[in-house]
Chains A and B, each alone.
Chain A
Amino acid sequence: MAASETSNGTALRYAFGNVLSFFILLLIGVLAFSIRLFSVIKYESVIHEFDPYFNYRVTQYLTKNGIYDFWNWFDDRTWYPLGRVIGGTVYPGLTLTAGTLYWILNSLNIPLSVETVCVFTAPIFSAFASWATYLLTKEVKGAGAGLTAAVLLAMVPSYISRSVAGSYDNEAVAIFALIFTFFLYIKTLNTGSLFYATLNAIAYFYMVCSWGGYTFIINLIPMHVLLCIVTGRYSSRLYIAYAPLVVLGTLLASLVPVVGFNAVLTSEHFGSFLVFIIIHVVALVYYIKGILSPKMFKVAVTLVLSIGLVVCCAVIAVLVALVASSPTKGWSGRSLSLLDPTYASKYIPIIASVSEHQPPTWPSYFMDINVLAFLVPAGIIACFSPLSDASSFVVLYIVTSVYFSGVMVRLMLVLAPAACIMSGIALSASFDVFTRSIKFQLPGVKGNSQVDAGDTSSEGVVAQNEVAKTDKNEEALKERPSKKNRKKEKEHVEKPFVKAQIKKRLLVLPFEASIIAILLLILLGAFYVVHSVWAAAEAYSAPSIVLTSYSHDGLHVFDDFREAYSWLSHNTEVDDKVASWWDYGYQTTAMANRTVIVDNNTWNNTHIATVGTAMSSPEKAAWEIFDSLDVKYVLVVFGGLVGYPSDDINKFLWMVRIGGGVFPHIKEPDYLRDGQYRIDSQATPTMLNCLMYKLSYYRFVETDGKAFDRVRRTEIGKKHFKLTHFEEVFTTHHWMVRIYKLKPQKNRIRGKAKKSRSKASSTTSTKRSETQRKNPWH
């Protein structure tokens, strides 16, 4: 009778806990969505930065012309005169997602514009990502840890920086896909169900569609499988989780045009095939071990293992031969720079020039994952007690992602979910210990009752932990939190429960200590929340297309970029070509709808080097290069007047480096005075005469009479000069964007004609005409 009552109570608690965690998850989704809306509230609903503009343009094309035209889209508005095959060179996941959202909303008669859908795609998917984190962590350590991890992920600054409303980039959906793929892998590993294995392959397909970072998955999962095999944790569930994923995943990955045959031909994927072979050998060994007597098995081991080793050696030899025959050893530049952090700066300036490909600094860890950095080690320890397949996967995930984030700032994004999961586990485990100690020592409250000190607290994290408590008490009894065990255990749960409680009584901490510890933990969580909200509101919400600054006389808004682009779209011919550094390529095509020479998809290094050479050449040579490319307008970004630091003068050294990498007559030392980059009177003549200097500082002295550059904090070296081959056509309100037109060729013909005429006349006139030829405007 008593037993049935308790089981009734347990069932009620389960139901109550499920409903509560459902609502908590709903709130977490709302939190994840709304914390990313600061950019819309503070600025407006615009697409941010550079790459999102391209994605936005592709989405527009997709919604206008349909999926088939999208796959076959050859874009002639960029990389003039080469053009670019968009359908085959873009990861289509994000575009297709937003296109589908748009299509669904419109078929429901909700008339949202494409831009609105694009702006809000990232916040929606960050809500999905936090739910996926809940599922993943629940598989690893139970629902309490899951809820805590989901809360942490919903507002981790590193992820916010990539998914605020308007930041419509691949990572926005890819992080969700990444976590969800990992969840399905763990789920398959825990249940051994082929159904989840299929879902896992499909989730992997979505990840491949979304982001180049899918190679992380296809290398991490084999590593985990190998780890399991080496540590003797092989099981048939592992086989079911891994083998179908490799076959189906490889096939699905090769369906994505941008990956194609790379899915079987590049070394990033070879690791998974090798492990695929190894797991078959191991599976065979385990099978034979199962059907043979131990004595016979010993004989068999020597035979089977030797044969297996021979096969493996042969395969490895073939792979090594294949890999060694290709020049870059089969690895693409970006992946190589992951393994060897110095690779990019040595060989590929175009990869090194992007700031998000640089190694991070220490403060950026604190900025991006904040207190999680301190909780992660505790989480790793919690994962080892007890170590299951799932928790070893999470440990492997955090270890590898810490390494990768140390190589590239951008990959901090991959670290963030791992850090959240680990911290969630750590926080939940410590709350569990402290609340249990309080519970056992509260007078008048039996260990079995549901009243808890933490329950009265309104702090969300504590409340969630309570939900999880029932789950976790039982989970702790199990070797592995697998589903099939759960049913069985439920029936026998009463007996070991008592035993476990006696054991737990021994682990009780002093009452005061645990109360203080809980308060400190809540304080830590509050600190994290404050920091995250600050980061979301202040640090990561700027769209970088509209800038603001506060000064003593109030708020200033710099909307120069859109001013310049709309000037271009209204005052130039449709087919005019605009040259600028590649950073502004996507924005020019998307906002001004003009053809550009290079853009942010840096697929052709030579073409970019040509533009870099033009920018670092003297005026005449630059004019010739631009004229040969059919360029009508040149656009430079100049921040000297308002102090906008990421302008073209600050990027100029990269133009020199990239240009010099292809055209050796551009030498970096020519632009540096004693190894220092300067634009004041000490600057080298090459620097003062190059096109970028002239276009940036033309007429700059007229602004304040001294030509003081507020970014470099110095007066410029050459103040009064005239342009001979370019004419200024438009400069925005704050001088941030300056547009120049190439002068027509007529002037040069006149000079030539004079020269030919002067040949007949006296030597003095030759001299005069020579000076005239050099500068027809004097």
Chain B
Amino acid sequence: MVKSTSKEAHALFHSLRSAYAATPTNLKIIDLYVVFSVFTALIQVVYMAIVGSFPFNSFLSGVLSCIGTAVLAVCLRIQVNKENKEFKDLPPERAFADFVLCNLVLHLVIMNFLG
């Protein structure tokens, strides 16, 4: 039972990797960016758990800025993905402009909130 599950998991892992290898490079870069910002958020949470959350607004803005960047990057990835039928007539330039605008607003707020 356990063997079959691990075998299946292995097969799944394999097929996931092969499927992911087919994604275009620009999407892969975005993915890397998302992973990086989530990782940064995790580091901050761990730091908060060890040291404490005293300037709570700083902690909050740090974590939310990372999560926000990740979320926005995911949105961008959804929009520029060629396989996504829903966004066929949305040019990638427009998607990127929206992404930049949203990031601007996000980081303006973060800078205000950082204290």
Contacts and interface: CB of A to CB of B under 8 A. Distances in A.
B113 interface: yes
Interface string A244-261: 100110111011000001
Interface in B63-115: 64, 67-68, 71-72, 74-76, 78-79, 83-84, 86-90, 95, 97-99, 101-102, 105-106, 109-110, 112-113
A702 B101 CA distance: 73
B112 A244 contact: no
Contact of B84 (A193, A201, A236, A288): A236
A288 B99 CA distance: 24
Nearest to A488: B89
Majority secondary structure, B binding face: helix
B109 A194 contact: no
Interface residues of B, number: 42
Given A194-B95, A198-B98, A236-B86, A248 B12 contact: no
Top 5 A-B residue pairs of the complex, sorted by shortest distance between their CB atoms: A194-B98, A247-B68, A291-B19, A236-B78, A195-B98
Contact of B113 (A201, A237, A254): A254
Nearest to A265: B56
A288 B20 CA distance: 10
A650 to B, nearest CB: 46
B16 A288 contact: yes
Contact of A192 (B11, B12, B87, B97): B87
Contact of B19 (A247, A283, A292, A487): A292
Interface residues of A, number: 36
Contact of B102 (A197, A300, A487): A197
Contact of A248 (B57, B83, B105): B105
Contacts of B75: 194, 197, 239-240, 243-244
A18 B1 CA distance: 67
Interface in B24-74: 56-57, 60-61, 64, 67-68, 71-72, 74
Contacts of B79: 192, 194, 240
A96 interface: no
B101 A198 contact: yes
A316 to B, nearest CB: 18
Contacts of B68: 244, 247-248, 251
Given A235-B86, A293-B15, A251 B74 contact: no
Interface string A726-765: 0000000000000000000000000000000000000000
A407 B102 CA distance: 38
5 contacts: A195-B101, A202-B105, A248-B105, A291-B23, A484-B89
Interface of B: 8-9, 11-12, 15-16, 19-20, 23, 56-57, 60-61, 64, 67-68, 71-72, 74-76, 78-79, 83-84, 86-90, 95, 97-99, 101-102, 105-106, 109-110, 112-113
Given A194-B72, A194-B75, A484 B98 contact: no
A305 to B, nearest CB: 13
A500 B68 CA distance: 46
Contact of B106 (A195, A248, A254, A255): A248
Interface string A226-247: 0000000001110110011001
Given A236-B86, A251-B61, A255-B112, A194 B20 contact: no
B87 to A, nearest CB: 6
Contacts of A244: 68, 71-72, 75, 102
Given A290-B83, A293-B15, A296-B12, A247 B106 contact: yes
A108 interface: no
A251 B84 contact: no
B11 A296 contact: yes
A205 to B, nearest CB: 9
Contacts of A201: 105
Given A236-B87, A248-B105, A254-B113, 11 more contacts: A194-B76, A194-B95, A195-B97, A235-B86, A251-B109, A261-B57, A264-B60, A299-B9, A300-B12, A303-B12, A484-B88
